[in-house]
Amino acid sequence: MLPISFGSDNHSGVHPLVMKALADANEGFCFGYGDDELSENVCSELANLFGGGCDVYLVMTGTGANVIALQSLLSSFNAVICAKTSHINVDECGAVQKFTQARLYPVETPDGKLSPELILPVLGGRGDQHHSQKKIVSITQNTEYGTTYTIEELKTLADFVHSRNMYFHIDGARLANAAAHLNVSLKEITKDIGADIVSFGGTKNGMMFGEAIISYVPQLTQDIIYYRKQATQLYSKHRFISAQFAAYLKDKLWFELAKKANANALILSEKLAAISQIQITQKVQANAVFLILPPDWIVSLQERYRFYMWDEDRFEARLMCSWNTTIEQIDAIVDDVKELANK
């Protein structure tokens, strides 16, 4: 087991209600590959949650969700515009390129957010047979910096993308955290702003495994069922993904867990910001805290707590809070930082 971890929300366990749902689903026999009643009901519930008029597909992993969503709208000569820090660019081992054969166009951003002004300079070469043709703009909500696109930012971006005859993809591994921060429904930050295809994560927010792909262009993405199989994301015992989502969606558990993780991060950031040697580098709008540490503190803290260095040259660390992070754990790391500050 790890020591107290602020390394990732992937380090957290499974919420008890989700674990119970898994145990309850582990009875008797059931059709596989999503042909069971529970899976059909969960997909219908997710479709309603995201505003209807969409198709829903369950997969095992966030990388799988992104790959399949993008592949369904790409040809090999196309390109995807994304933030340089995006998960599809940095942390998916080239999976998008491998499966789609399309190119990624990473764009530098100060806070993980794309904007029309940042995208416009890379739109050259359209219609030129020598250039990859930009077809999709992919954003992460929340971003890898823990920042959150506002409703207006999303609408502006979607309108811009569509005006250039491109599609708008949202990597929503932490979409629940964004909804909790903005205090809005999932429909309001996807369908209502003009998203074309979205992934909705559960693994980072209390589930054991499982993500959902939501397509608002079902007439274009009917081949997802084949891409999902080819990408090894069609889970045979599908009910165990569906059972988790059933518990995750009931009584808005997804929202409450994300809200708690966000609140934990805000408490942690406020306590750390009060220490003069600490510099918070990004707005805390989800469950991540980015901060610059004095370099001689890092080894000592990492002996007691798991966290990652985001930018080693700047001594910038990332601390992630989860749904099961406790105030006692937050106070423990803050007290140890204070002890180092007072030496």
Q: Which amino acid is at 26?
A: N
Asked if 32 and 17 touch (Cβ cutoff 8 Å), the reply is no
Q: Among 41, 44, 92, which residue's Cα sits nearest to residue 70?
A: 92
**Residue 95, C-beta contacts closer than 8 angstroms, at least 6 positions apart:** 63, 66, 67, 88
3-state SS, residue 69: helix
Nearest 5°: the CA angle 48, 83, 182 is: 40
The residue assigned the tokens 């505003």 is 51
Residue 19: closest CA among 200, 244, 181, 312: 244
Closest to 161 measured CA to CA, from 173, 145, 178, 149 = 149
Measured CA to CA, the distance from residue 207 to residue 7 in angstroms comes to: 17
Q: Which of 275, 206, 274, 212 is nearest to 242 (CA)?
A: 212
3-class DSSP assignment, residue 101: coil
The amino acid that residue 205 corresponds to is N
User: What count of residues does the chain have?
Assistant: 343
Residues 9, 15: Cα–Cα separation, whole Å: 12
pLDDT of residue 343: 80
The β-bridge partners of 279 are 292
Helix axes 16-25, 239-249, angle to 10 degrees: 140
CB proximity list for 247: less than 8 A, separation 6 or greater: 15, 17, 18, 20, 21, 253
Rounded CA separation 213/209 (Å): 14
Q: What is the pLDDT of residue 2?
A: 67
Low-confidence spans in the chain with pLDDT less than 70? 1-2
3-state SS assignment for residue 314 = coil
Contact by Cβ (8 Å): 317, 310: yes
Q: Residue 111 class from Cβ within 10 Å (0-12 exposed, 13-18 middle, 19+ buried)?
A: middle
Q: Taking every pair of C-alpha atoms in the chain, what is the biggest distance, in angstroms?
A: 64
Is 4-10+253-341 assigned to CATH 2.120.10.30?
no
Query: Chain-centre distance of CA 37, in angstroms?
Result: 28
Residue of 170, 145, 143 lying closest to 155 (CA atoms): 170
- Name the one residue in this structure whose structure tokens are 């995750």: 248
Separation CA 203–CA 206 (nearest Å):
6
Domain 15-252 of CATH type 1.20.120.450 = no
What is the SS3 assignment for 336? helix
Residues of the chain with CATH 3.40.640.10: 15-252
Q: Residues of CATH 3.90.1150.10 domain(s) within the chain? A: 4-10+253-341
pLDDT digits (tens, 9 = 90+) for 219-240: 999 999 999 999 999 999 999 9
